[in-house]
């Protein structure tokens, strides 16, 4: 699909120095990435620095998590209005690390998705099965249940302004990438599930693959019919590998 997205989720990895190094590298190389929008997801304290250093570039900014509430007594949380002051365009919602380590429920994920759209930002809804679920043959039902929770809360039309990221939990940070065929099977099922309630939105929906994407694996993954880019963790921390993944978008 034309116009892929290659997103770099830095997770909890950054310092002022490494941010400048990485962004300088991305700025030098961004012109070589012709067929993908590059997006970086820094930790919150670096948003101001990232916004300043990326000004005048086409590289977009996202946040890794967001609070669904507007403001008030939510100690430790960051609002969408705050993120927007730093030029943010995207918010990850429902990353498996948030679901597993911070017990985020499908209902909380749906609330964050709705709040992100209400703030006129684009949610990237992350879904994916564990190894145990895959081995039990539950992959498609787990993933479609996660998406259905958002459809129930926000409606199918909401996918006009949303991205889905399929990230099998067993492939995240493990060096085990889903094969292009395994990924395509799930991406196709995701698109079909959204199409059952919102056919128009499903046709243009961008579905990213995440889970140990590298420059070596990206090209074949991105060549699959229903894969519209990548959500990259480890390999997004070096400009060279992130740009090479961006160049794999054809």
Catalytic residues: 95, 167
From the CB of 62, what's the least distance to ligand 13P, in Å?
A: 11
Nearer to ligand 13P, 3 or 173 (CB): 173
Q: How far is the CB of 109 from ligand 13P (least distance, A)?
A: 14
Tell me the CB-side half-sphere exposure of residue 96, using CA atoms within 13 A: 20
Closest CA to 239 of 56, 88, 20, 44: 20
Residue 216's Cβ-side half-sphere holds a number of Cα atoms within 13 Å equal to 6
Q: How far is CA 116 from the centre of its chain?
A: 14
| Cβ-proximal residue to ligand 13P, closest one | 233
Residues that bind ligand 13P (CB under 6 A): 9, 95, 167, 172-173, 210-213, 231-235
* Smallest distance, ligand 13P to C-beta of residue 210, A: 4
Name which of 83 and 124 has its Cβ closer to ligand 13P: 124
Tell me whether residue 106 or residue 167 sits nearer to ligand 13P (CB atom): 167
- Give whole-number Cα distances, 135 to 53, 110, 170, 221, in Å: 44, 27, 11, 22
Closest CB 14 distance from ligand 13P, rounded Å: 14
Q: In whole angstroms, give the CA distance from residue 68 to residue 79.
A: 7
Query: Closer to ligand 13P at the Cβ: 99 or 156?
Result: 99
Q: What sign does the dihedral 212-101-4-28 (CA atoms) show? A: negative
Q: How far is CA 123 from CA 88, 103, 110, 158, 179, in A?
A: 11, 19, 10, 10, 26
């Amino acid at each position: 699909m034309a116009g892929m997205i290659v997103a770099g989720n830095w997770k909890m990895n950054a310092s002022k120095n490494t941010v400048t190094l990485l962004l300088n590298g991305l700025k030098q190389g961004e012109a070589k990435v012709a067929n993908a929008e590059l997006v970086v997801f820094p930790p919150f304290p670096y948003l101001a620095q990232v916004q300043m250093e990326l000004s005048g570039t086409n590289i977009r900014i996202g946040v890794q998590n967001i609070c669904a509430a507007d403001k008030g007594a939510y100690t430790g949380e960051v609002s969408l209005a705050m993120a927007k002051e730093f030029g943010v365009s995207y918010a990850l919602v429902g990353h498996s690390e948030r679901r597993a380590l911070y017990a985020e429920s499908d209902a909380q994920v749906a609330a964050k998705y709705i709040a992100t759209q209400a703030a006129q930002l684009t949610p990237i809804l992350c879904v994916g099965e564990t190894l145990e679920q895959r081995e039990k043959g539950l992959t498609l039902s787990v993933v479609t249940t996660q998406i259905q929770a958002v459809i129930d809360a926000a409606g199918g039309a909401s996918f006009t302004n949303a991205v889905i990221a399929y990230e099998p939990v067993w492939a995240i940070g493990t060096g085990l990438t889903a094969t292009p065929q395994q990924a395509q099977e799930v991406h196709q099922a995701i698109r079909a599930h959204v199409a059952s309630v919102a056919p128009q939105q499903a046709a243009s929906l961008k579905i990213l693959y995440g889970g140990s994407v590298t420059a070596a694996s990206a090209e074949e993954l991105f060549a699959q019919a229903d894969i519209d880019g990548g959500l990259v963790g480890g390999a997004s921390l070096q400009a060279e590998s992130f740009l090479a993944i961006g160049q794999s978008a054809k």
